[in-house]
Amino acid sequence: MTEYLPELWPLLAMVGAFVIGTFALKLPVSISLVIASVVGAAVGGHGIPLRHLVEGTLGYLDALLIIATAMVFMRMIQASGLLDTVAYSMTARLHHRPASLLVLMMLFAMSAGMITGSSTAAVLTTGAIVAPVFMALGISRNKTGAIIAMAGIFGMIAPPVNIPVMIIGGGVDMPYIGFTLPLLVITVPLAVVVVLFLGLREARAADIEPHMLPRSYHEEYGLKLYLPLILLVVLIVGEQALPRIVPPLGMPLIFAICAAVTPFTGRPFQALTASREAIGAALPVMGILAGVGMFLQIMALTGGRGFMVSMLVGLPLALLYLSIGVSMPVFGAVSAYGSASILGVPFVLALLGSNEILVASALSLIAAMGDLMPPTALAGLFAAQVVKQPNYFKVMKHCLAPAGFTIVAGLAFIATAGFWDRFLFWDNRLGMWGILAGVVILVSGLVLLLDRTRPKGEKGVTA
């Protein structure tokens, strides 16, 4: 063991400084990461290496730009009335089909996380919009909080923006390309299962009063209200499906273009004020990401990352899976992004025999469960605030089974990576999409069948 001591001591110093700064001194996670990086470099005999600290901070510049522009876009479509209108339309049309409404509202609640890469943003925006609808369907306050907490986490992992995967990819020099389909496969089915598990027993066809619904702006602004969302889908899909027609703009520019269009499509609002609020909300996440980049750079400089990889490679496969399932969510209690960087990168390197895209996707899902872990439990804490539950543990207890099932599903995805590699990266794209379409139709049919077994309401939604 002595030959590893030069790499071990800086690593221990970094982890110790991070824990002390976060828990003892109550410093923000981003500041604790910076302090830990400086301490690790000093203990490793490198003094204060400004070049490496700056390089690490800018290592996730692309992700920082995506977060900033995505948050601006999200805040603007919320201010324009688009989110309220979409929620109203789904509820008004499907209030008598609770299973279908549950699934669609779950996907809608995920959408803010899919765009911003933040579970907190999803819970506080689209989650807050759908919470009254869930409760109007008869779902208890605590289960409603659990549903929107899980929706925020699944949305954070679903494409197009998955920050933990970007962090892992940056640590192993893997570009953020080819993740869309694996991330959809690993998140959307879990989201459907979780929302039906938590809500279907209590959900009923409801006589929903107008005051229970968000306001619709469709009659005032018509189809132009939906233009930013349509443009976003066209640019993202077109960039991949029609590269000769749609130029490769990149996610930051796509979000910036769609945000620039939004003030002219719906309810009037101050675009500059909305942008400032969005950047203010994004700064904590951006700070964590900058700190993570610095932390990873110093880990590589002092040999800490190599030490962790060498330790993990020697573990039996069963023990390696167990350490993934336990350590990543536990460390994610401090920060899911920190868990993805400090543990996710070594785990990907330890599993190099498997498809790195699939492994990184599953690891990001497991790391995201840290947003449910005390003492921070950000997703659960904010979900409890949204449903006005002062004791967030009453919400968290309903998240235990879904979180455990999600971790097991993530580990199973890694264990069966060979199958998913052959299927999701199958040369016969038409056949692959045909099978996926068949699965979607089958699930939709099952949801419709469940609706037929639920009690029916009589009055419906009045305008």
What does the pLDDT look like over 157-191, one tens digit per residue?
998 889 899 888 887 888 888 898 899 999 999 99
What is the pLDDT, as a whole number, of residue 107? 93
pLDDT band at 249 (very low <50, low <70, confident <90, very high): confident
Let me know: does 346 contact 167? Beta carbons within 8 Å: no
The average pLDDT across 57-64 equals 82
pLDDT tens per residue, range 76-134: 999 999 999 998 888 888 878 888 889 999 999 999 889 888 888 888 888 888 898 88
Mean pLDDT throughout 309-320? 80
Query: Taking a C-beta distance cutoff of 8 angstroms, is the pair 233, 254 a contact?
Result: no
- Annotate 405-431 with DSSP letters as a single string: HHHHHHHHHHHTHHHHHHHHT-S-HHH
The mean pLDDT of 24-40, rounded to a whole number, is 89
Residue 463: band (very low, low, confident or very high) from pLDDT cuts 50, 70, 90: very low
The stretch 394-419 carries a mean pLDDT of 93
> Contact 366/329 with Cβ under 8 angstroms?
yes
Which contiguous run of DSSP H or E holds residue 357? Answer: helix 356-368
Half-sphere exposure of 35 (CA within 13 A, CB side): 16
- 437 has a pLDDT exceeding 90: no
| Residue 63 scores a pLDDT above 70 | yes
The distance in angstroms from the start CA to the end CA of the chain is 72
Is it the case that residue 366 has pLDDT exceeding 90?
A: yes
pLDDT bin (cut points 50, 70, 90) of residue 322 is: very high
Number of C-beta neighbours around residue 48 at 10 A: 10
Domain range annotation of the chain: 50-452
Q: Is the pLDDT of residue 42 over 90?
A: yes
Length of the chain: 463
> What's the pLDDT at 459?
39
> How many of the other CB atoms lie within 10 Å of CB of 436?
15
> Tens digits of per-residue pLDDT, 222-237?
999 999 999 998 888 7
Lowest mean pLDDT among 15-19, 69-73, 308-312: 308-312
What would the mean pLDDT of 60-66 be, rounded to a whole number?
Answer: 83
